[in-house]
């Protein structure tokens, strides 16, 4: 599909901004103790979460406009070149050609937040989590296994997803995921260092108590 965009944790990472994702994956394995497969899964989930955070959410209601026929909102339908105008008077009970529904519902933007949720669809196969029910045909998560390239791919096939994403979102997603991995590794190393310091201090305290327990000769 023309609108398909993908998040990938495979291939070469040299072109990413900030902390190269390749280096972050190595740290994820070396410091966090993950296997290569686990590191790729973890990074892909972080990338999807970052993409979700960057995806703008529509306003609750459509913009109200007015022309010579009265107040209206525009309703875009799939495969339509021009929006449909829904006038407020179309929903009046006094209108002999009243259309179904209400003016309040006509103003509401349906499926609000769908683009954000779409980034998490299908990721439950990598890690147990609540991702919501995907629209059939709009998401695909799969692995690639080869002699030189291995990893995971998350495809977002929502037909309008590329229109709503901000400029440079791919680089931001990779950078944020890499930074999160590095931050997690730093926290783990800090905890290990603090634990080691406490153990050394405990041993030193025991040695001092032992010395004084003997008393003077």
- Confidence category of residue 86, pLDDT binned at 50, 70, 90: very high
Residues 132 and 184 in one domain: yes
Q: What is the mean pLDDT of residues 52-59?
A: 91
Where does the pLDDT of residue 16 fall: very low under 50, low under 70, confident under 90, or very high at 90 and above?
very low
Looking at residue 24, its pLDDT comes to: 84
130 and 154 belong to one structural domain: yes
- Could you tell me if 185 and 79 lie in one domain? no
Tokens 């009243």 belong to residue: 98
> Which residue did the predictor score with more confidence, 109 or 19?
109
Averaged over 84-88, what is the pLDDT?
A: 93
Total domains in the fold of the chain: 2
Region 179-187: mean pLDDT is: 87
| Same domain assignment for residues 82 and 177 | no
How much is the average pLDDT of 93-106? 92
For residue 124, what is the DSSP state?
G
Is position 52 within any domain?
yes
Q: Domain of 74?
A: 65-107
- Is residue 173 located within the same domain as residue 138? yes
Is 22 part of a structural domain of the chain? yes
Give whole-number Cα distances, 202 to 186, 198, 212, 215, in Å.
24, 6, 16, 21
Q: pLDDT at position 103, please? A: 93
What is the C-alpha R_g of the chain?
A: 27
Nearest-angstrom CA–CA distance, 87 and 71: 6
Round the average pLDDT of the chain to a whole number and report it.
83
CA atoms within 13 A on the CB side of 137: 3
| 163 within a domain of the structure (yes/no) | yes
Same domain, 175 and 94: no
139 falls within a domain? yes
Is the pLDDT at 211 greater than 70, yes or no? no
- Cα distances from 90 to residues 64, 87, 106, in angstroms, run 14, 5, 10
Answer yes or no: is pLDDT of 31 > 70.
yes
The reply to whether 39 and 139 lie within a common domain is yes
Reported as a pLDDT band with limits 50, 70 and 90, residue 50 is: very high
């Amino acid at each position: 599909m023309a609108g398909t965009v993908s998040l990938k944790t495979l291939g070469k990472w040299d072109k990413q901004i900030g902390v190269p994702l390749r280096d972050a994956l190595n740290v994820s394995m070396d410091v966090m103790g993950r296997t290569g497969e686990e590191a790729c899964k973890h990074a892909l989930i972080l990338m999807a979460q970052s993409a979700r955070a960057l995806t703008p959410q529509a306003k609750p209601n459509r913009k109200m406009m007015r022309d010579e026929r009265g107040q209206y909102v525009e309703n875009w339908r799939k495969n339509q070149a021009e929006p449909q105008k829904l006038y407020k008077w179309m929903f009046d009970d006094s209108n002999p050609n009243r259309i179904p529904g209400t003016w309040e519902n006509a103003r509401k933007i349906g499926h609000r937040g769908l683009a954000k949720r779409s980034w998490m669809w299908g990721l439950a196969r990598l890690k147990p989590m609540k991702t919501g029910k995907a629209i059939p045909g709009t998401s695909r998560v799969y692995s690639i296994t080869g002699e030189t390239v291995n990893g995971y791919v998350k495809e977002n096939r929502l037909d309008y997803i590329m229109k709503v994403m901000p400029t440079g979102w791919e680089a931001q997603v990779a950078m944020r995921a890499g930074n999160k991995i590095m931050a997690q590794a730093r926290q783990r190393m800090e905890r290990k260092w603090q634990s080691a310091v406490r153990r050394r201090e405990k041993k030193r305290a025991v040695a001092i108590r032992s010395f004084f327990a003997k008393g003077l000769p």
